[in-house]
Structure 1
Amino acid sequence: MSAEANAAAGRTGGVQSLERAFMLLETMADAGGVISLSQLASDAQLPLPTIHRLIRTLVDLGYVRQEASRQYSLGPRLIRLGETTSRMVGRWARPQMEALARELGESVNLAMLDGDQVVYVGQVMASQNSMRMFTEVGRRVLPHSTGVGKAVLAEMDPAEVRAIVERTGMPARTEHTITTPDALAKELATTRKRGYALDEGEQEVGVRCVAVAVPDVPQQLALSVSGPLPRMTDDFIERAVGPLHKAAAAIAAQLRAGD
């Protein structure tokens, strides 16, 4: 008998039920958050009576809810867990962000795609410049007008990106904001080709930002450096890209270590 089989055989019913409950939540998330019972049973490859029992418990606890359509969706009690985890991501990434801010001398931000919006989950402000960029942790913005948003969108399927901007619209934050799906698609193609995203005063006039996606993590995260336009020259962007990718890879390794 393999070590894995031995471990499975040694599990108590309670531990196995816990594993299965988390697997159901992850299966629902992979399906977009809403799923039928038959599809859940098929995707999870568990007997329907087992699915019924676990789902009923998750519904009673508020982690799953039954819709009027008789489908099941992720429940509201997960929101608090997700918000707390988002704050923890910023905390775990802080050493890499502090090192990056010291090296480049500009503010560093970490952001996550949450639904159709980008939420900032961490920031480190450089200490050596009197004019520093401040973005409140927890602030939510639309992804089309930000460097972090475009870095994340560039990693996604173009059809999914178009669906997001169709739901949110593409309002102009400044005169520089990209406001059409076709123009955004062209910008994201450029982002993928060069390996980083730019915010050219699209979210805030006079502020330039360079951002990269955090690679190979289940969360859709991006790391950015931002500052006043006079300091964020093309030469600075060229110098910043390597350290940004290095820090993003270190953050990814840190997050994967907790898997």
Structure 2
Amino acid sequence: MPSSDRRDSATADPASSDARASTAASSGGVQSLERAFDLLERMADAGGEVGLSELSGSSGLPLPTIHRLMRTLVACGYVRQHPNRRYALGPRLIRLGESSSRLLGTWARPYLSRLVEETGETANMALLDGDEVVYVAQVPSRHSMRMFTEVGRRVLPHSTGVGKALLAGHPPEEVRAMLARTGMPAATERTITTPEGFLAALEHVRTAGYAMDDNEQELGVRCIAVPVPDSPTAAAISISGPAGRVTEAATDKFVPLMHEVAEQLSKALASNGTSGG
């Protein structure tokens, strides 16, 4: 049975920051906890490393309050302080992130199952983790010839449908910086290997509303991907199959369904729901 390993930075968003603050103010929870988690999210928005003055400017909290909260986070291992007195996200967050990624994959499976039922092809969910794409869930096709990716597999984004879907909303300068760090190795003769070519592909994603890996990761295989809107972390879903089945006509049929499923999954994640749609 042929298989394909579907291998199918951040700038702070003032709107999302304001939304977090509004949620914290109205939730009736423990204020210090709300503030601590808000600071962690602001650190992530800023790329993972910040100074106290930057946090004060973005959060509106006084420096003594931020300093007290950061000392607690450092003591717990969720933040570490560098010799230059700047703060960075700490290693204990890795364990939390890995566990939450597994749960995210579990929640996604009913939605991926619907894609498999209605398209006949393998369905995947992937996240952007740093400069890499990591697959967190998959439901395989029932065809004897089908695509397969190990959950947990990490790949570079430039030759994958999910990579394009995940990066389409990023500013060009961020994408160029990422490509400079990772390089753009060719997996096939169809792989995009220049930043200009990749940025043009991302523009097509924004215009068309979906991303395509057309024989770029493995010859004879096509992958279609769409982002999951408003996901708590950058996520995309995809279907992949032999190029003879994932045709242009099939793509026109699959893409609206994929957007519908992505919207349903987004709502489920926002409400911590686990039932498929």
TM over 0.5: yes
Distance 1:136 1:8 in 2: 41
Go from structure 1 to structure 2 and tell me whether the alpha carbon gap of 1:8 and 1:139 turns closer, same or farther (over 3 Å shift). Answer: closer
**1:52 partner amino acid:** H
Once the two structures are superposed, residues 65-86 of structure 1 have per-residue CA deviations (whole angstroms, 9 ceiling, x without a partner) of 0112210000010011111111
| Map of 1:56 onto structure 2 | 71
| Map of 2:249 onto structure 1 | 235
Go from structure 1 to structure 2 and tell me whether the alpha carbon gap of 1:229 and 1:9 turns closer, same or farther (over 3 Å shift). Answer: closer
| Map of 1:3 onto structure 2 | none
Distance 1:20 1:132 in 2: 47
**1:202 partner amino acid:** E
Q: CA deviation at 1:238?
A: 1.3
2:176 matches 1:134: no
| Map of 1:99 onto structure 2 | 114
Aligned pairs for 1:175-194 (under 5 A) are 175-194=189-208
Aligned pairs for 1:30-45 (under 5 A) are 30-45=45-60
Q: TM-score, normalised by structure 1?
A: 0.92
Once the two structures are superposed, residues 218-237 of structure 1 have per-residue CA deviations (whole angstroms, 9 ceiling, x without a partner) of 31111111011221111111
Distance 1:194 1:43 in 2: 35
Q: TM-score, normalised by structure 2?
A: 0.86
Distance 1:154 1:8 in 2: 33
Q: CA deviation at 1:115?
A: 0.5
| RMSD of aligned Cα (Å) | 2.0
Go from structure 1 to structure 2 and tell me whether the alpha carbon gap of 1:8 and 1:218 turns closer, same or farther (over 3 Å shift). Answer: closer
| Map of 2:14 onto structure 1 | none
2:130 matches 1:115: yes
| Map of 1:154 onto structure 2 | 168
Aligned pairs for 1:8-87 (under 5 A) are 15-87=30-102
| Map of 1:145 onto structure 2 | 159
**Count of matched residue positions in the alignment of Structure 1 and Structure 2:** 251
> Stretches of 4+ moved more than 3 A in 1?
7-12
Q: Using CA pairs below 8 Å that are at least 6 residues apart, which structure has the higher relative contact order?
A: 2
Q: CA deviation at 1:110?
A: 0.5
Instruction: Among all aligned residue pairs of Structure 1 and Structure 2, give the percentage whose two residues are the same amino acid.
Output: 59
Distance 1:50 1:57 in 2: 11
**Gapped regions of structure 2 (runs ≥ 5):** 1-23
Once the two structures are superposed, residues 32-85 of structure 1 have per-residue CA deviations (whole angstroms, 9 ceiling, x without a partner) of 110001111222222222111111111011100011221000001001111111
Go from structure 1 to structure 2 and tell me whether the alpha carbon gap of 1:23 and 1:130 turns closer, same or farther (over 3 Å shift). Answer: same
Go from structure 1 to structure 2 and tell me whether the alpha carbon gap of 1:31 and 1:250 turns closer, same or farther (over 3 Å shift). Answer: same
SS at match of 2:241: strand
Once the two structures are superposed, residues 104-156 of structure 1 have per-residue CA deviations (whole angstroms, 9 ceiling, x without a partner) of 100000001010100001100122x1111110111001111100000111121
Greater radius of gyration (CA): 1
| Map of 1:197 onto structure 2 | 211
The answer to which structure has the higher helix fraction is 1
Q: After alignment, is 33-42 or 106-115 more displaced? A: 33-42
Once the two structures are superposed, residues 170-224 of structure 1 have per-residue CA deviations (whole angstroms, 9 ceiling, x without a partner) of 1111111100000111111111111111101111222111111111223111111
SS at match of 2:199: helix
Distance 2:130 2:261 in 1: 25
